Protein backbone atom coordinates (compact mmCIF):
# COMPACT_ATOMS: atom_id res chain seq x y z
CA UNK A 1 0.00 0.00 0.00
CA UNK A 2 1.32 3.43 -0.96
CA UNK A 3 0.68 6.20 1.55
CA UNK A 4 0.50 9.66 0.01
CA UNK A 5 2.31 12.42 1.91
CA UNK A 6 0.21 15.26 3.23
CA UNK A 7 0.05 18.28 0.94
CA UNK A 8 -0.95 21.91 1.03
CA UNK A 9 -4.31 20.85 -0.43
CA UNK A 10 -4.99 18.92 2.80
CA UNK A 11 -4.54 22.09 4.87
CA UNK A 12 -6.03 24.82 2.66
CA UNK A 13 -9.67 24.10 3.66
CA UNK A 14 -8.58 24.23 7.32
CA UNK A 15 -7.26 27.80 7.16
CA UNK A 16 -8.78 29.71 10.06
CA UNK A 17 -9.43 26.59 12.10
CA UNK A 18 -7.90 25.61 15.42
CA UNK A 19 -5.37 22.88 16.21
CA UNK A 20 -4.73 21.61 19.73
CA UNK A 21 -1.12 21.04 20.80
CA UNK A 22 -1.14 17.78 22.75
CA UNK A 23 1.05 17.07 25.77
CA UNK A 24 0.73 13.54 27.15
CA UNK A 25 -2.48 13.23 25.13
CA UNK A 26 -4.09 16.36 26.60
CA UNK A 27 -4.38 19.82 24.99
CA UNK A 28 -1.71 22.18 26.31
CA UNK A 29 -2.11 25.04 23.81
CA UNK A 30 -4.30 26.08 20.90
CA UNK A 31 -2.99 27.27 17.55
CA UNK A 32 -4.95 28.80 14.69
CA UNK A 33 -3.88 27.91 11.14
CA UNK A 34 -3.56 31.35 9.55
CA UNK A 35 -1.78 30.67 6.25
CA UNK A 36 -1.00 27.83 3.83
CA UNK A 37 1.60 28.64 1.16
CA UNK A 38 2.65 26.32 -1.69
CA UNK A 39 6.36 26.79 -2.45
CA UNK A 40 6.34 26.06 -6.18
CA UNK A 41 9.93 27.18 -6.84
CA UNK A 42 11.33 24.61 -4.40
CA UNK A 43 11.61 20.85 -4.47
CA UNK A 44 12.90 18.57 -7.21
CA UNK A 45 11.26 17.04 -10.28
CA UNK A 46 10.92 13.71 -8.44
CA UNK A 47 9.30 15.27 -5.35
CA UNK A 48 6.16 13.49 -4.16
CA UNK A 49 4.44 16.82 -3.45
CA UNK A 50 4.81 20.54 -3.92
CA UNK A 51 6.74 21.89 -0.94
CA UNK A 52 4.63 24.13 1.30
CA UNK A 53 4.63 26.05 4.55
CA UNK A 54 2.03 26.54 7.26
CA UNK A 55 1.73 29.48 9.63
CA UNK A 56 0.04 28.99 12.97
CA UNK A 57 -0.73 31.66 15.56
CA UNK A 58 -1.18 31.11 19.27
CA UNK A 59 -4.53 32.16 20.62
CA UNK A 60 -3.08 33.18 24.00
CA UNK A 61 -1.11 36.45 23.97
CA UNK A 62 0.41 35.76 27.38
CA UNK A 63 1.56 32.20 26.62
CA UNK A 64 5.23 31.33 26.73
CA UNK A 65 6.89 30.78 23.37
CA UNK A 66 6.98 27.06 22.60
CA UNK A 67 10.53 26.03 21.62
CA UNK A 68 11.38 24.77 18.15
CA UNK A 69 10.64 21.02 18.09
CA UNK A 70 8.28 18.28 16.96
CA UNK A 71 4.74 18.61 18.36
CA UNK A 72 1.69 16.37 18.23
CA UNK A 73 -1.25 18.40 16.96
CA UNK A 74 -4.90 17.42 16.87
CA UNK A 75 -7.62 18.74 14.58
CA UNK A 76 -11.28 17.75 14.53
CA UNK A 77 -11.25 16.98 10.78
CA UNK A 78 -7.64 15.88 10.28
CA UNK A 79 -7.04 13.87 13.45
CA UNK A 80 -3.60 13.74 15.08
CA UNK A 81 -0.33 14.44 13.32
CA UNK A 82 3.22 15.35 14.27
CA UNK A 83 4.57 18.63 12.95
CA UNK A 84 7.91 20.36 13.53
CA UNK A 85 7.11 23.92 14.59
CA UNK A 86 9.48 26.89 14.65
CA UNK A 87 8.57 30.13 16.45
CA UNK A 88 9.09 32.99 14.00
CA UNK A 89 7.65 36.03 15.75
CA UNK A 90 5.60 37.52 18.54
CA UNK A 91 3.33 40.52 18.50
CA UNK A 92 0.50 41.92 20.60
CA UNK A 93 -1.87 39.17 19.38
CA UNK A 94 0.32 36.13 20.09
CA UNK A 95 3.18 33.99 18.78
CA UNK A 96 3.48 32.85 15.16
CA UNK A 97 4.91 29.43 14.33
CA UNK A 98 5.96 28.01 10.97
CA UNK A 99 6.05 24.44 9.69
CA UNK A 100 7.75 23.72 6.34
CA UNK A 101 7.28 20.59 4.25
CA UNK A 102 9.58 19.59 1.36
Q: pTM (2 decimals)?
A: 0.88
Q: What's residue 1's pLDDT?
A: 44
Range 8-101 has CATH code 3.30.390 = no
In this prediction, residue 24 carries a pLDDT of 82
d(CA 26, CA 74) in angstroms, rounded, equals 10
Q: How far apart are CA 1 and CA 39, in angstroms?
A: 28
Q: Judge whether residue 57 has pLDDT over 70.
A: yes
What pLDDT shows up at residue 47?
A: 63
Contact 95, 87 (CB under 8 A): yes
- Residue 7 burial by Cβ neighbours in a 10 Å radius (0-12, 13-18, 19+): middle
Task: Count Cα atoms within 13 angstroms, Cβ side, for 11.
Answer: 26
The full set of domain ranges for the chain reads 8-101
6 Cβ contact list (under 8 Å, min separation 6): 49, 81, 101
Q: Render pLDDT for 37-47 as a digit per residue (tens, 0 to 9).
A: 998 766 566 66
Amino acid sequence: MIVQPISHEDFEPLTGSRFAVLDAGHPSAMLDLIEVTPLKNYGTPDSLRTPFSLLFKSSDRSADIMPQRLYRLSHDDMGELEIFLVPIGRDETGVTYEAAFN
